[in-house]
Amino acid sequence: MSTPSTPVQSTNHSASQNVLLHKSRWRWWEVLLWAAALSSPWVLSSHALIINEIAIVALFALSLDLILGYTGIVSLGHAAFFGMGAYSAALFAKHVMPDPLVGLAVGITTSAVLGAICSVTIQRGTDLTRLMVTLGVGLILMELANKLDWLTGGADGLQGVMMGPVLGRFEFDLAGQTSAWYSLAVLLVLFVIARRFVSSPFGSTLKAIRDNRLRAMAIGIPVSSRLAVVYTVAAAGAGAAGALLAQTTGFASLDVFEFHRSADVMLVLVIGGVGWLYGGVAGAVVFKLMQDFISNITPQYWTFWIGLFLVVLVLVGRERLVRPWTWFQKGGKA
């Protein structure tokens, strides 16, 4: 027989709901930010290709932040889900149906299933154990894609992937405007879903697990099931990013499983900040623009300058570098 809640408990519950509701509300600058992002493929039409890349990397980083920033699970094999989504969408388009949205759903589903299976591997062990296990899953999938060359194309990659028009109307063009708009729209939809996800009571339990797993278990939070769900959701997001890459480039190769994919998305979150959904978006913008700009100046040594930037970021502190933006958010008040 359940006991009736006391007035104090009801008040605390209402206060918690109000806090979560306040966090989920959109600010004026967010609306302007997304409006500018969605219009950028037309305003900056000559840079549509890099805008598309930024949107895909931002979605990939967003998915990793769900498990790293909000749950405290460190992973070096997140590229496994990215690659699964890429190959699933490419194979579906080549052999079944070229519709982008259906292929995107297929990529998300297959990656989510893989994430649900792999979630068993993160239930136990230390952070070092999880690092090795997640890295191993990515390496296994890359070797499978290499050996199954009759299906995946092996080292030559899966070629001849032709995509149909988005919504039956918008053809993919060489300039990349449709690709950029498509990727940005998917990023926005999944960002809204992720925002609701982390601002819900479920998201609060994830933060409790991140801060102290033993205490979370002691107060009755089902840690294992929470980890399985968030890992599956994060895998689905990474699969969506991989599917977008395959669909907008018309190609899938072993590169999508490479370790540098997982390492780069980790750097993106280091630049933008973990535990903050906009961290992945901001980090993707900075990382891709720096990569594009520096590689045009010094193609052989661009990684050195990005490494130097990361060292400065860690030594100086992100808070000092983003202080002008914080000042702007507060309306110019100290």
User: Nearest 10 degrees: CA dihedral of 189, 192, 197, 199?
Assistant: 180
Of 243, 211, 207, which is closest to residue 59 (Cα–Cα)? 243
pLDDT of residue 2: 44
Residue 191: predicted pLDDT: 93
Q: Which of 6-15, 96-105, 146-155, 181-190 has the lowest mean pLDDT?
A: 6-15
Q: Tens of pLDDT along 15-36?
A: 555 555 555 677 878 888 888 8
Q: What is the pLDDT of residue 232?
A: 92
Contact (Cβ atoms closer than 8 angstroms) between residue 235 and residue 112: yes
Q: Look up the pTM and report it.
A: 0.85
| Cα separation, 278 vs 187, whole angstroms | 12
| pLDDT on residue 108 | 94
Q: What percent of the chain has pLDDT over 90?
A: 19
Instruction: List the structure tokens of 157.
Output: 């990659």
| 88-92, 148-152, 175-179: which is most confident | 88-92
Could you give the angle at the alpha carbon of 94 between the alpha carbons of 92 and 100, nearest 5°? 60
Three-state SS sequence of 54-99: HHHHHHHHHHHHHHHCCCCCCCCCCHHHHHHHHHHHHHHHHHCCCC
For residue 322, the 8-state DSSP code is T
Residues linked to residue 281 through DSSP beta bridges, in sequence order: none
pLDDT, tens digit (0-9, with 9 covering 90-100), for 190-221: 999 999 888 888 888 888 888 888 888 888 88
Q: What's the pLDDT score for residue 234?
A: 92
- Per-domain residue ranges of the chain: 33-280
Considering the domain delimited by 33-280, tell me its CATH architecture: Orthogonal Bundle (1.10)
Q: Which pLDDT score is estimated for 57?
A: 93
pLDDT in tens, 262-281: 888 888 888 888 888 888 88
Residue 120: its pLDDT value, please? 83
Average pLDDT, the chain: 81
Q: How confident is the model at residue 6 (pLDDT cuts 50, 70, 90)?
A: low
Burial class, 185, CB count within 10 angstroms (exposed 0-12 / middle 13-18 / buried 19+)? middle
Residue 14 pLDDT class (50, 70, 90 cuts): low
pLDDT above 50 (res 1)? no
Q: Is the pLDDT of residue 12 over 50?
A: no
Q: Are 262 and 78 in contact (CB under 8 A)?
A: yes
Structure confidence by residue, pLDDT tens digits, 283-333: 889 888 888 888 778 777 777 777 777 777 777 766 655 555 454 444 455
Question: Which 3 state secondary structure label does DSSP give 168?
Answer: coil
Query: Distance between CA atoms of 213 and 225, rounded to whole angstroms?
Result: 13
